[in-house]
Amino acid sequence: MSTVDAVEISGLKKIFNAGKPSQVDALVDIDLTIAPGEFVSLIGPSGCGKSTLLRLIANLTDPSAGEVRVNGKPAKQARLDQDYGMAFQQAGLFDWRTVSKNIELPLELKGWDRAKRRARAQEMLELVKLPEFAQHMPWQLSGGMQQRIAIARALAAHPPLLLMDEPFGALDEMTREHMQAELLRICAETHTTVVFVTHSIPEAVYLSTKVVVMSPRPGRITEIIDVPLGGGRNDDTREDAVFYSKITEVREALRGIEAGLAVARGIEDR
């Protein structure tokens, strides 16, 4: 296991429309370190900047101040070196490509030759337990299956880091729980570090080793809660006492934010 931090964020600020009346302090004073192998969830009410933070790590947007380092490099270099894979709420598979060719997409862009790509795609399909669907078209698959393919694509190049923006948001509860278990299994097998944005408290606690609670206006980290549930999480974990107590802890952290916001709103109303 490498000693370089998977993600290192210091003094990060992201301001939209600086100087204008419509200025939005999306993120302010963000310091966060994520060690390799960790599973970190970002959770918080709307507008807390969790998606913005994820996109800053992905170098899909630039910070107003501060630094983001991924895998020991500046975020931009990490993106150019393809050190991470990304999954969104919409699976975003290309309708005109077969499942296998969808998974091959990042490998194509890296210039891999056809045989290697094909082999890796098949390997990923085995990993997400959908090997017989290689030649199917994405729209023939259910939502949960499409998300699994999206995860296979995100991990196809075996990046050390996986970034996920509410990937299970569009799925029903049963499929969601199933996908959470699958995700943990896959990440354990590939030793991937994960940064995961979610709205769901049970999901955050079930999946993560650390839950980062954020609050809005301005967007900042309020609390970081460790979740010592250990590596072998399964369905029984969902009924574990520690699981419930951690959920309560996260919920109260969020409620504290809500109360704070209500107070602030109350002051503004007057």
Partner 1 sequence: MSAVTTLVPRRQRAWYRRSRRSLMFVLAIVLVATLWEGYKLVGPQDGGQLFGWKVLPRAKDRVMPHISDILSRFSDPINRGSDETVFSVVLKGVWFSLRLVLAGFGMGLVAGVLLAVVMCRLRIAERAILPYLVISQTVPLIALAPLVVSWGGKLQLFGWEWPRWLSASVLGAFLTFFPIAVGTLRGLQSPSASSLELMDSYAAPWRRTLFTLRFPSAVPFMVPALKLGAAGSVIGVVVSEISTGLRGGIGRLVIEFGRATTSDPAIVYTAVLGAAFLGLVMAGMVSLAEIVVMRNRPKEVEA
**Contacts with partner 1 in 45-74 (CB under 8 A)?**
55, 58, 60
Exactly one of 49, 63, 106, 216 binds partner 1 (CB under 8 A); which one?
106
CA–CA distances in Å: residue 76 to residues 60, 70, 194, 195: 9, 9, 18, 17
Only one of the segments 78-86, 190-198, 224-232, 238-246 lies at the binding site for partner 1 (rule: CB under 8 A); that segment is 78-86
Separation CA 183–CA 210 (nearest Å):
16
Separation CA 181–CA 201 (nearest Å):
15
Exactly one of 139, 241, 268, 269 binds partner 1 (CB under 8 A); which one?
139
- Is residue 134 near partner 1 by the rule CB under 8 A? no
In the complex, least distance from residue 181 CB atom to partner 1, rounded to whole angstroms: 20
Exactly one of 84, 168, 206, 243 binds partner 1 (CB under 8 A); which one?
84
In the complex, least distance from residue 93 CB atom to partner 1, rounded to whole angstroms: 9
DSSP string, 192-221: -EEEEEES-HHHHHHH-SEEEEEETTTTEE
- Is residue 131 near partner 1 by the rule CB under 8 A? no
Nearest Cα residue to 34 out of 192, 179, 185, 140: 192
Separation CA 36–CA 59 (nearest Å):
19
Encoded amino acid at 257, one letter: I
Alpha carbon 154 to chain centroid, angstroms: 11
In the complex, least distance from residue 79 CB atom to partner 1, rounded to whole angstroms: 5
Exactly one of 64, 89, 200, 222 binds partner 1 (CB under 8 A); which one?
89
Q: Which residues bind partner 1 (CB under 8 A)?
A: 55, 58, 60, 79-80, 82, 84, 86, 88-90, 92, 94-98, 105-106, 108-109, 137, 139-143, 145-146
